[in-house]
Amino acid sequence: MFKKILLNAILLLILVISTSWIIDKNEEEISEFNGKLTNFIRGNGFNLRKFNKHGIPISSFGRTGIKAVSPFYVVHYGLIYSDSIPHPEKYEYLWNKNASTKYWNIPPDKKFINKNNFFYACDWVAEHIKQNKYGKYHLEYNFDWYYKHLSGKWLKAPWYSGLTDGFALTLLSRAYILTNDTKYKNAAEKLYSSVISYKNVGGDTITFKNGDLWIEEYVVKRLPDTMQPRVLNGMIYASFGVNDYEKTFKIKNKLYPIYFKSIRNNINRFDLGYWTSYDLIGTVANYKYHHVHLGLLQDLFKITNDTYYLKLYDKWKKYNTSFLLRHFYYTKPTVNSLMTLIEYVLLILLIQSIILIILKKYIKYRRKK
């Protein structure tokens, strides 16, 4: 009896260790597979994102079952498409290679990376900017978005994002430099004015209690500044866009140093001691966003030459907290983390069953001999 209990305990320990090890080695791929599986169950096929003939991405959202064009991804892929175009040497800063780009999933097929698709993305952005009741301009999201830790759980359409508005400044600046077409300059001016304006007058910027400015990724008009998510990657990408715009169009009263100072002052708030936080309302970064943070620290050092970011990068890179601890000890499990765990427990059990069957047959074979 004792031997049987001991054997079962050993098998359970092996199951836990092997499951944790396999998940940790393949976490990003597993997460992407779960997203595809959810989409498939919803009837949207097995793709998270498809591209039309002009390279515009159409995303499928498993939670809501809808398909839609996300403005952020139009900007994201537009920037990737621009890498195919020769650019003036004095504007090298506009074409800085972001160390974080490689951590974003679903790279486009090489056939989409061309000049025509770059300008199609730029035109899409310029044409889809809309004015709100305050006279500010944004790239609106016309679908609802679930956000677990946000008060009310959902962002209701239409909503807008400081990340998208700000990051689009880099895209439009590149388009203007390559063409000298004022439609790109005008579009960039509209977005810039909105990014640097406060939320209470229709803009994207909020404040901390100490007065530090923050470009909010998910602008929730019904919430006070103190309850806004304050997403780290959104603030950094948007600040990069402000920096690019102000340099390109030679803005005299530059604001990008103020935004960069705010990043420097507040980035340590996203350090959980074992991993990084996606925002300041309790969302632990998933595997992808933790590594996006690492890439952004490298980018911040490259732009500011501040060694603080290298030290923080070295610290955060050492955070190797396992999937099980992050999702089942430090925080409450999500639907995605539960799906991942169940899938791999079943897989490990299947493998163990096969091994046991083979061993039993081998032992039986040896006894006959």
pLDDT in tens, 239-286: 999 999 999 999 999 999 999 999 999 999 999 999 999 999 999 998
Residue 325 lies in a domain: no
Whether residue 10 is found in the same domain as residue 66 = no
pTM above 0.85, yes or no: yes
14: confidence class by pLDDT, cuts 50, 70, 90: low
Q: Which residue has the higher pLDDT, 122 or 349?
A: 122
47's CB contacts (< 8 A; 6+ apart) are: 36, 39, 60
Instruction: Place 38 in a pLDDT band, splitting at 50, 70 and 90.
Output: low
Residue 213 confidence (pLDDT) above 80: yes
Any domain includes 101: yes
The answer to whether 215 touches 158, Cβ cutoff 8 Å, is no
14 shares its domain with 138: no
Burial grade of 139 (CB within 10 A; 0-12, 13-18, 19 or more): buried
Dmax (CA) for the chain in angstroms is 90
Question: At 107, is the pLDDT very low, low, confident or very high (cuts 50, 70, 90)?
Answer: confident
Whether residue 136 is contained in a domain is answered as yes
**Do 153 and 245 have their domain in common?**
yes
**What integer best gives the mean pLDDT of the chain?**
87
Q: Are residues 235 and 340 in the same domain?
A: no
Q: Is residue 17 part of a domain?
A: yes
- Which CATH number characterizes residue 116's domain? 1.50.10
Match 């004022």 to its residue by tokens. Answer: 182
Evaluate whether 234 touches 279 at the Cβ level (below 8 Å).
Answer: no
- CA end-to-end span of the chain: 29
Report yes or no on 95 lying in a domain.
yes
* Distance from C-alpha of 348 to C-alpha of 359, rounded to nearest angstrom: 16
318, 344, 361: which is the final residue of a domain?
318
Residues 133, 177, single domain; the answer is: yes
Other beta carbons less than 10 A from residue 61's beta carbon: 20
Q: Are 228 and 132 in the same domain?
A: yes
Domain total for the chain?
2
In angstroms, the Cα distances linking 307 to 300, 312, 313 are 9, 9, 10
d(CA 243, CA 173) in angstroms, rounded, equals 11
The answer to whether residue 68 is domain-embedded is: yes
Q: Which of 113-127, 324-338, 344-358 has the lowest mean pLDDT?
A: 344-358
Same domain, 233 and 290: yes
Task: Work out the angle between the directed axes of helices 335-368 and 27-42 (0-180°, nearest 10).
Answer: 110
Q: How far apart are CA 288 and CA 271, in angstroms?
A: 16
CB 65 within 8 A of CB 43: yes
Which ranges in the chain belong to alpha helices (H)?
2-25, 27-42, 71-81, 115-127, 162-179, 182-195, 232-248, 256-266, 287-304, 307-317, 323-328, 335-368
pLDDT confidence band for 32 (50 / 70 / 90): low
Q: How confident is the model at residue 330 (pLDDT cuts 50, 70, 90)?
A: confident
What backbone phi and psi angles, to 5 degrees, belong to 129? -75, 130
Phi, psi angles (nearest 5°) of residue 44: -100, 15
Give the structural domain span for 27: 1-43+333-369
For residue 314, is pLDDT > 90? yes
Same domain, 192 and 89: yes
> Is residue 128 packed enough to be buried (19+ CB in 10 Å), middle (13-18) or exposed (0-12)?
middle
Q: Quick one: 197 and 271 in the same domain?
A: yes
324 lies in some domain: no
Whether 85 and 234 map to the same domain: the answer is yes
Could you tell me if 99 and 199 lie in one domain?
yes
In a domain, 328, yes or no: no
Band of the pLDDT at 323, cuts 50, 70, 90? confident
DSSP state of 57: E
Q: What is the rounded CA–CA span in Å between residue 215 and residue 231?
A: 9
130 and 144 belong to one structural domain = yes
